[in-house]
Structure 1
């Protein structure tokens, strides 16, 4: 699915007679010093709820990203995000790649469409370069999971009325997406739970997790000890519906319903990946208290299931509230959040329940337009029932201190 999209986009541009191209973009290189509780991260088959940890250096290159676009006239463009991740084993790939068509407004209304691999616009926390956050280094549990397991490989159509001065900041947009290639979404929620970090999965990537005892049971013998979130298993289309509303210059919100329409009994025996039947409701709201201070709130509630007769069946919920204030070259942000996975099935050998809460305090200083420094403290208190199978503590607390430096550039 992903390789097909990469090959298809240049062909579509040529088929439209597109030859006069204009390239633009921006990039970011992010490095940090990190002090943590030395728990092994999940992608190194550990139970750490945060990125990096045991066995990794305290001085780290977090990521390098190029967020680029190629414009062909006023309507057609190609957008891509190429990202390098050092952990666990040096990944370079796309986190987004799509072809977009957008009309000019007609009586204040315009429509647009895109096809490829991309994030639906769930997040109000991650509007920065390469779907990163300008507020905190660690994303909330909601958007950390989105960055791991949720991506649409298909098409999206939007109808919108953009805000204007005459409308006093009011505007709206509706979205409909149809996709494939996101069948295993839900794997990490069931067997690791939510996590808080800033790592995004690139196309065609495989994510490891701790070798839980339940995977040795006959009922789960076909499941591999890794997750390939952007693969197609059951041949069925999923969809999502979205609504964005800009209420005023101070306030906006969005509501999304996502359903990958997975067949939980379908399995790819070669790759060891099931099609999870995952669906959720996401609601996000931003309110500007002053021109310098804003409040962001997002909530997520859904269900995910896999296996014959929905042998693994879990509800999941999470929310966060983030307050951010900008003063001169400084930005201070504070976030509180909670997350939970509720085990609804009868497979006692595979306990999936987990819950936790987190607090993040972050300070950033803009030295120049290119250079930014920052400091952040993260506290996570979590319970994951599956940890018992490996002799780990069910309840775990983690603290991360992080000093960061960002370099940004434009093309």
Structure 2
């Protein structure tokens, strides 16, 4: 349910609150990107944190891209039952076309003051306060925060989720609980690559590239990770509690545990990871046009067998990140739009027997963005992103541990209902 429970009309609703249309939507994102950073992690496992980089190291490299295109079908079956199926093609996606989300939704009539919303299938958990809509786009910027970039790339699940919501003495409360599988490798990218800021999304059958690992892990771990796979048949779970008191404020707490077996491995060297995190998110509307959004995450992930007298797993990592986003709705001539600024920090700390402090990471990023609604079916975004990170593991490739990256993007989002 999230922050939209008390949203002013000028702010778009979150995906969980967007009603199904029963129609087929087609969309495409056309980008012009300029980047001066190192080779992107999406480019055969480079060391860059952004979606784009310049492997030649000669200043800004400017190129056009079709970053994403897809179809979203939202059928209405009647009797409170609907669905969503999203297929997607992305620049740098290893499959030409793949499934993004596919689920059934049941919304029965309210029972007194209590509403129920059930999803079953493949979907993202209700964590991000930056995404919303059938194709799960970022609403006010092009690039999501490091937190929600990771949610998008490694925390998609296959399962059943139920949300109960009600109003008590003017307070809007919602409780979400879910059981899931297909998420055993969550933590792989975050450990070997670290945090990143990008709008690439995990798909049902896709793989994501990993960077150059240490000698031990190169013999144990595949060079690419599959975000949606089940290795141990353990059912993970998550729960979320949202509270919106009278007034322009909303707070949510989210706990996630995939209950992965850190010793599970398949023939392709895809490993199970026991990944857990706690998350806090909040929105505050300063007035009808200005919103502050913040999210913070603190978690751990472990993988491999116990080693030595202390019985430490091969990988035992703690990860943390926090961001603050300010958005102001504005009129740009006759076009409605917004301007946004975001600041964030992130780090990881390793205490395993085989992945040690050289894979630790610290960093921060700053983003400035603007959005213009040009036409009914076209929205233009502009964004400047700066990322500063330090990771000693880059020395394995003869690269300086500290990297500065600048990415400038113009993105035209085209979206229309087929047959409209």
Q: Structure 2 length as normaliser, TM-score? A: 0.86
Counterpart for residue 46 of structure 2: 46
Matched with 1:277 is 274
Equivalence for 1:26: 25
Q: Please point out which of 392, 408, 413 is paired with 1:401.
A: 408
Seen in structure 2, the aligned counterparts of structure 1 residues 348 and 206 have a Cα distance that, compared at 3 Å, is: closer
Aligned residue number for residue 377 of structure 1: 384
The answer to whether the 8 A contact 1:22-1:72 is kept is no
**Shift, 1:254, TM fit:** 1.6
Quick check: 78-87 or 53-62, which moved more?
53-62
CA-to-aligned-CA distance 1:20-56 (integer Å, 9 cap, x gap): x983243431111111115211122211100022479
> Any idea what the Cα deviations from partners look like across 1:321-373, whole Å, max 9, x if unmatched?
00000112231000000111111224366732111100000012221222222
| C-alpha distance in 1 between matches for 2:98 and 2:66 | 16
Which SS does the other structure have where 2:42 is aligned? helix
Aligned equivalents of 1:249, 1:129: Cα separation in 2: 28
- Looking at structure 1, the residues matched to 37 and 403 of structure 2 have their Cα atoms a distance apart, in angstroms, of 12
CA distance in 2, matches of 1:348, 1:257: 26
Alignment of 1:212-231 (within 5 A): 212=213, 214=214, 216-217=215-216, 221-231=219-229
Call closer, same or farther: CA 1:228–1:162 in 2, change over 3 Å.
Answer: farther
- Which structure 1 residue ranges, 5 or more long, are not aligned? 1-20
Kindly indicate whether the alpha-carbon contact (under 8 Å) linking 1:356 and 1:380 is maintained by their aligned counterparts in 2.
yes
Cα separation, 1, equivalents of 2:139 and 2:22: 24
Say whether 1:113 aligns with 2:110: no
Contact 2:350 2:357 in 1 (8 A): no
How far the C-alpha of 1:88 sits from its partner, in A, is 4.7
1:94-132 CA-partner distances (Å, limit 9, x unpaired): 221111212111211122322111111011111244111
Structure 1 residue 394, shift from structure 2 partner: 0.8
Q: Which residue of 1 aligns with 2:8?
A: none
Cα distance change on mapping 1:348 and 1:98 into 2, 3 Å:
closer
Task: Give the TM-score normalised by the residue count of structure 1.
Answer: 0.88
What value does the CA root-mean-square deviation take over the aligned residues?
A: 2.0
Report the counterpart of residue 324 of structure 1 in structure 2: 327
State the partner residue of 1:196. 197
Native 8 Å contact 2:159 2:178 kept in 1: yes
Work out whether residues 314 and 352 of structure 1, in 8 Å CA contact, stay in contact via their aligned partners in 2.
no
State the alpha-carbon separation in 1 of the partners of residues 326 and 291 from structure 2: 6
Match of 1:125 among 107, 130, 142: 130
Alignment match, 2:145: 140
Q: Distance in 2 between matches of 1:143 and 1:349?
A: 25
The number of residues matched between the two structures is 383
CA pair 193-140 structure 1, distance change in 2 beyond 3 A = same
- In structure 2, C-alpha distance between the alignment counterparts of 1:330 and 1:261, rounded to whole Å: 42
Q: How does 1:354-393 map to 2 (within 5 A)?
A: 354-393=361-400
| Cα offset, 1:262, TM superposition | 1.0
Which residue in the other structure is 1:209 paired with?
210
Alignment of 1:197-346 (within 5 A): 197-212=198-213, 214=214, 216-217=215-216, 221-248=219-246, 250-268=248-266, 270-309=267-306, 310-328=313-331, 329-346=336-353
CA gap of 1:162–1:197, structure 2 versus 1, over 3 A, is farther
Matched residue SS, 2:394? helix
Preserved CA contact (<8 Å) 1:28 1:129: no
Distance 1:313 1:162 in 2: 41
SS of the residue 1:331 aligns to = strand
